[in-house]
């Protein structure tokens, strides 16, 4: 039985992770995700939401048993490195949202960090990258993605101490974009689906171009990126969908001023 299930709901691909009783990620998790990528690239998928089946853990962490076996020359096989699969997933030209219904540490949080938007449920949950406590480092992109979000000093402090923090602190740090109140009947998945459907209803080409530009943005701003923005803007202006939308708004404004 696999660890991932995919349910396509009106253009939103909902991927659910389940690996009881520990809810830990393994190489099989990533191999399954790798095999899903062609379907996720298809035009029928307008947005992606990833969640966990457990009420306590989103993804608890990467399997400690697998890591232990790796030190002894064993461990499961990878179709492709985790870094490559997550990089490809996060750069798909459509929104990728993680709905964290519970705690996530180590590889579990690293997975979520690859998303465009992260929504979590408030509660007695904790999040962080505590790998240093067993003598390793976040090897699934965590050192890079967490630093990009919270800054070098905060990322170092969180990883080197290491600290597991609440959903509210993750919201304040900018890691989570929304936190659903603990006493709300709404789940993290419920809220993520609302966001995904909203974005899925926008012009797909514009969504893809905006995501690309934001993903590739650098500081300080470069002329190369401004030129790319200009080219993508011009591309959108040539699209029939864009032209129809612009004309609709322009006609409304003309009517409002009596022109």
- Residues designated catalytic: 110, 131
Q: Which two tokens stand for residue 258?
A: 């009596």
Residue 248 CA to residue 246 CA, distance in Å, equals 5
The DSSP code for 23 is: T
Q: For the chain, what is the largest distance between any 2 Cα atoms, rounded to a whole number of angstroms?
A: 78
By C-alpha distance, which of 69, 161, 66, 149 is closest to 109? 149
User: What stretches of the chain adopt beta strand conformation (E)?
Assistant: 4-9, 12-17, 47-52, 57-59, 96-100, 103-105, 117-121, 127-128, 178-180
What DSSP string runs through 82-148? Answer: HHHHHHHHHTSSS-EEEEE-SEEETHHHHHHHTSSEEEEE-SS--EE--GGGGT---TTTHHHHHHH
Positive or negative torsion for Cα 107, 110, 116, 118:
positive
Element (H, E) at 209: helix 204-216
Which residue has tokens 């996530």? 104
For 231-250, b/e burial (b = at least 16 CB within 10 A) is ebeeebeeeeeeeeeeeeee
Token pair 């690859």: residue: 114
What secondary structure letter does DSSP report for 43?
A: T
């Amino acid at each position: 039985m696999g660890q991932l299930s995919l349910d396509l709901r009106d253009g939103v691909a909902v991927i659910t992770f389940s690996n009881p009783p520990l809810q830990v990620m393994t190489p099989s998790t990533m191999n399954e995700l790798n095999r899903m990528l062609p379907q996720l690239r298809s035009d029928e998928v307008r947005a992606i939401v990833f969640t966990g089946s457990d009420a306590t853990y989103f993804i608890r962490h990467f399997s400690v048993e697998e890591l232990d076996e790796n030190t002894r020359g064993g461990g499961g096989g990878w179709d492709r490195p985790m870094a490559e699969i997550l990089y490809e997933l996060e750069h798909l030209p459509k929104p990728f949202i993680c709905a964290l219904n519970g705690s996530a540490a180590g590889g579990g949080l690293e997975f979520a960090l690859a998303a465009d938007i992260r929504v979590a449920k408030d509660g007695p949950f904790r999040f962080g990258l505590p790998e240093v406590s067993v003598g390793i480092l976040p090897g699934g992109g965590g050192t890079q993605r967490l630093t990009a979000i919270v800054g070098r000093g905060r990322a170092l402090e969180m990883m080197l101490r290491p600290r597991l923090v609440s959903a509210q602190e993750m919201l304040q740090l900018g890691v989570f974009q929304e936190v659903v109140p603990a006493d709300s009947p709404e789940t993290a998945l419920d809220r993520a689906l609302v966001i995904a459907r909203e974005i899925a209803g926008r012009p797909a080409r514009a969504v893809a171009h905006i995501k690309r530009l934001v993903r590739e943005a650098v500081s300080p701003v470069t002329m190369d990126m401004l030129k790319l923005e200009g080219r993508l803007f011009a591309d959108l202006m040539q699209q029939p969908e864009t032209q129809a939308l612009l004309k609709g708004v322009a006609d409304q404004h003309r009517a409002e001023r009596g022109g």
